[in-house]
Amino acid sequence: MKNHTGQNTGSSGISRNKLLGVSGIGWLFDAMDVGILSFIIAALALDWGLTPNEKGLIGSINSIGMAVGAFLFGMLADKVGRKTIFIVTLLCFSIASGLSAFTTTLTAFLILRFIIGMGLGGELPVASTLVSESVPAKERGRIVVLLESFWAVGWLLAAIIAYFVIPSDVWPIAGWRVALILTAIPALYAVYLRLHLPDSPLFAAKPEAKRRSFIQNVAGVWTKKYAKSTLMLWVLWFAVVFSYYGMFLWLPSVMVEKGFSLISSFKYVLIMTLAQLPGYFTAAWFVEKIGRKFVLVTYLLGTAASAYVFGQADTVAVLLISGILLSFFNLGAWGALYAYTPEQYPLVIRGTGAGMAAAVGRVGGIFGPLLVGWMRTAGFDFGVIFAVFCASIVIGVAAVIFLGKETKQMELE
User: What count of other Cβ atoms lies within 10 Å of the Cβ of residue 341?
Assistant: 27
pLDDT at 187 over 60: yes
Tell me the per-residue pLDDT of 146-168, one tens digit each, with 9 for 90 and over.
998 888 888 888 878 887 888 77
Nearest partner of 233 among 371, 83, 108, 74, judged by Cα: 74
pLDDT at 1 over 50: no
If pLDDT is split at 50, 70 and 90, which confidence band does 245 have?
confident
Tell me the per-residue pLDDT of 219-231, one tens digit each, with 9 for 90 and over.
999 999 999 999 9
pLDDT at 74 over 60: yes
Q: What is the mean pLDDT of residues 233-247?
A: 93
Q: What is the mean pLDDT of residues 126-141?
A: 88
Residues 70/122, Cβ–Cβ less than 8 Å: yes
Percent of the chain whose predicted confidence (pLDDT) is above 70: 92
User: Which domains occur in the chain, in start order?
Assistant: 14-194+212-403 (1.20.1250.20)
Question: If you average pLDDT over each of 71-80, 199-208, 296-305, 315-324, which comes out highest?
Answer: 296-305
If pLDDT is split at 50, 70 and 90, which confidence band does 209 have?
low
pLDDT, residue 411, reads 81
What is the reported pTM? Answer: 0.83
Q: What average pLDDT does the chain have?
A: 85
pLDDT, residue 223, reads 95
Can you tell me the distance from the alpha carbon of 134 to that of 298, in angstroms, rounded to the nearest whole number?
28
DSSP string, 347-408: HHHHHHHHHHHHHHHHHHHHHHHHHHHHHHHTT--HHHHHHHHHHHHHHHHHHHHHH----T
Tell me the per-residue pLDDT of 335-377, one tens digit each, with 9 for 90 and over.
999 999 999 999 889 999 999 999 999 898 888 878 888 898 8
Residues 64/356, Cβ–Cβ less than 8 Å: no
pLDDT at 388 over 90: yes
Q: What is the mean pLDDT of residues 116-134?
A: 90
pLDDT at 99 over 80: yes
pLDDT at 405 over 80: yes
pLDDT, residue 262, reads 59
Can you tell me the distance from the alpha carbon of 61 to that of 113, in angstroms, rounded to the nearest whole number?
7
pLDDT, residue 4, reads 38
